[in-house]
Amino acid sequence: MLEHSDSVKGSILLIQAPGTATLIKGTVTGLTPGEHGFHIHEFGDMSDGCKSMGGHYNPDGVDHGDINQGHVGDLGNITADKSGTAKFTIEAKRVDLIGERSVIGRGFVVHSDADDLGKGGDAESLKTGNAGDRLACGVIVTRSEEMTEAHGGEHSTTGRSMTKGEKGKREKIVKGMKKDKAGFKRYGKDAEAVMYATATKQAMK
């Protein structure tokens, strides 16, 4: 979940099966239309807002680049539409959730400007891509399966979308769950999302 901004909000889900690329799926709202630099920074430290997250995650000590080369944390740009919403799925071959290079505990930063991918021709380009201010940030954490599905939707569970029949089935299941709200109380404001995630799983069986 992105924090430290009143206007820029978002949630980002990372998925990796052993030996495959990490999928980074997210939606960020409240942006200015156009490209915004998007990186994994070294520290999951928000003690001083997004400032304390350090530089781009760079275990190889190389110059800034793009999704294929440069810092491991270089994810290029996300693009916001006219309404300021960026929806994206990034296949990040160099980002790991498993092993000694795991990015769990590190942080995402969304920037004010476009990342020039190291091609800006100045020193800053090779360091930060001239992506400008840090608009919002969030620590990469592990979550329970229910929460992961709540944020990832049906695709993260089965790799396919729901059929019409399954959607109807899900609605019925959620209706039943709402009668028994007590069981979901511990999820607080996420209760509804967790109900949907659980019901999605049941409906798609």
| Contact between 111 and 37 (Cβ < 8 Å) | yes
CA distances from 42 to 27, 71, 108 (A): 22, 10, 9
Is residue 147 within 8 Å of 173, Cβ to Cβ? no
71 binds, among Cu ion, Zn ion, none (CB under 5 to 8 A by kind): Zn ion
Pick 59 or 176: Cβ nearer Cu ion: 59
Q: Are 77 and 35 in contact (CB under 8 A)?
A: yes
**36 sits near Zn ion (criterion: CB under 5 A):** no
Question: Cα–Cα–Cα angle for 197, 86, 128, nearest 5°?
Answer: 120
Site string for Cu ion, 7-46 (x = CB under 5 A): --------------------------------x-------
Q: Which is nearer to Zn ion, 71 or 151 (CB)?
A: 71
List 12, 31, 67, 109, residue binding Cu ion (CB under 5 A): 109
Find the shortest distance in angstroms from Cβ 136 to Zn ion.
Answer: 18
71 lies in the site for Zn ion, by CB under 5 A? yes
C-alpha–C-alpha distance, residues 88 and 47, integer Å: 28
Which residues contribute to the site for Cu ion (CB under 5 A)?
A: 39, 109
Which residues contribute to the site for Zn ion (CB under 5 A)?
A: 56, 64, 71, 74
